[in-house]
Amino acid sequence: MLPRSPPRPPPRVLELIHLTLRPAPRPVPEPLPRHLGSHLRRLRLDHRLSQLELATRMGFPGQTVTEVERGEQAPTERYLERLAHALDLPQEQIYALWERYRRTPAGAGVPGDTRADQRDCPCRGLHAFQEQDAALYHGRAAAVSKLTRAIGRSALAGVVGASGSGKSSLVQAGLIPVMRGQEEGWAVVAFRPGSSPYEALAGGVVELIHPDASMDLSVREAAALSRRMHSEGIGQTLDQLSQRLAKPVVLFADQFEELFTHCPSEETIRAFLDHLADLAVRHPGATSRIKVVLTLRGDFYGRAVAHRRFSDVLQDNVVNLPPMNRAELRSAIVEPARARWTSTTGWSSGSSTTWAPTRAICPCWSSR
């Protein structure tokens, strides 16, 4: 007679034995940043600074810091010098940063994901379109026409829409290329209001005037210009800028809702809106050589029009940006890819291919 097998432990006991005998998992190391911009973002966060606060210290527009940290553009040597100075980095950290920069291919951003490494990729995924992407920008022709007409008849126009609807892209890749292509050849001052709208605007003006100035000079000039605009208004400064450049100037205030979400002073908010309204009144009609175009999230539109003078000059010059319809979506996806895809896959406009959203096309393009 065969001996009986010992009784099998209950399942819960087996689970505990398995957990006891199983070797402890090794700690998962923190992943390295995918690109230099991610590393620079960590440095900023370690110093508890917002993008706008860092940009102000560096004398750069806030949008530049955003694009560098996202990997949409590669940092320049001048950018890194100012960053190291603004963060007061120790010598060994500066050396490590420069070594990392030296080993990074020129223009490299997010490996396998950004426009730097996929210059032939026709889609931009979740990145905002920039001015240099104008040839790839499709699907918003009607909105571009409306905005061009609005800014043509007034000194102040706005784009209002939901978060992520493409407001910044409409201005940067739609309107601005049109204005630059006009006979006057408009100069562009881009900024985001942030917590200090006058400082942010002054930084954009100084960057346009002195693109190669040292950090100390840029910061000093931006601070002086900010104080002057706060006391005397914005219009006079932009008039002088237009005369100096011998061309008209368009002021692009991106993410204008930051004026209400970031700026802690109600007095500063009211003064800034007053100065924008003054500018629009002083430069009426189509002949104005100073224009202002802003992008604003729809849920903050009420805050903007609560200021009566600002509401009066903005009225009738607002372009609402709804979601794309089916035809616009098809144009936004198909048209940028048409020429390049035809040469690589034989796809034609008569194909019955079903298109995925653009953020899914980028990895498909890279693995074609």
Predicted local confidence at residue 56, as pLDDT = 81
Predicted local confidence at residue 27, as pLDDT = 46
Instruction: Write the CB contacts of 11 (distance below 8 Å, at least 6 apart in sequence).
Output: none
Average pLDDT, the chain: 81
> First CA to last CA across the chain, in angstroms?
68
Distance between CA atoms of residues 221 and 199, nearest Å: 10
Q: Per-residue pLDDT for 9 more than 70? A: no
Predicted local confidence at residue 367, as pLDDT = 52
Residue 354 in tokens: 């079903």
Task: Give residue 358's pLDDT band: very low, low, confident or very high (50, 70, 90).
Answer: low
Contact yes or no for 248/186 (Cβ under 8 A):
yes
Q: Per-residue pLDDT for 223 more than 80? A: yes
3-state SS string for 87-142: HCCCHHHHHHHHHHHHHCCCCCCCCCCCCCCCCCCCCCCCCCCCHHHHHHCCCCHH
Radius of gyration of the chain (CA): 26
Average pLDDT over residues 278-292: 90
131-321: CATH number: 3.40.50.300
DSSP per position, 265-318: -HHHHHHHHHHHHHHHHHS-STT-SEEEEEEEEGGGHHHHHTSHHHHHHHTT-E
Instruction: Write the CB contacts of 207 (distance below 8 Å, at least 6 apart in sequence).
Output: 59, 60, 61, 218
Nearest to residue 102, comparing CAs of 39, 33, 41, 36? 36
The residue with tokens 């190391």 is: 29
Please determine, looking at this structure, whether the domain spanning 36-103 carries the CATH number 3.30.70.100.
no
Predicted local confidence at residue 341, as pLDDT = 62
Residue 7 Cα to chain centre, angstroms? 67
Task: Give residue 100's pLDDT band: very low, low, confident or very high (50, 70, 90).
Answer: confident
Q: Per-residue pLDDT for 57 more than 50? A: yes
Predicted local confidence at residue 138, as pLDDT = 93
Instruction: State which of 23-32, 51-60, 65-74, 135-144 shows the largest mean pLDDT.
Output: 135-144
Per residue in 12-27, pLDDT tens? 544 544 444 455 554 4
Per residue in 143-171, pLDDT tens? 999 999 999 999 999 999 999 899 999 99
Percent of the chain with pLDDT strictly greater than 90 = 43
Average pLDDT over residues 248-260: 95
Predicted local confidence at residue 210, as pLDDT = 85
Q: Where are the domains of the chain?
A: 36-103, 131-321
In this structure, of 113-117, 148-152, 289-293, 345-349, the range with the lowest mean pLDDT score is 113-117
Q: Which residues pair with 189 in a beta bridge?
A: 251
Predicted local confidence at residue 120, as pLDDT = 62
Predicted local confidence at residue 104, as pLDDT = 60
In this structure, of 90-94, 174-178, 195-199, 262-266, the range with the lowest mean pLDDT score is 90-94
Q: Per-residue pLDDT for 108 more than 70? A: no
Per residue in 295-344, pLDDT tens? 999 999 999 999 999 999 999 999 999 999 999 999 998 988 885 665 45
Q: Per-residue pLDDT for 73 more than 70? A: yes
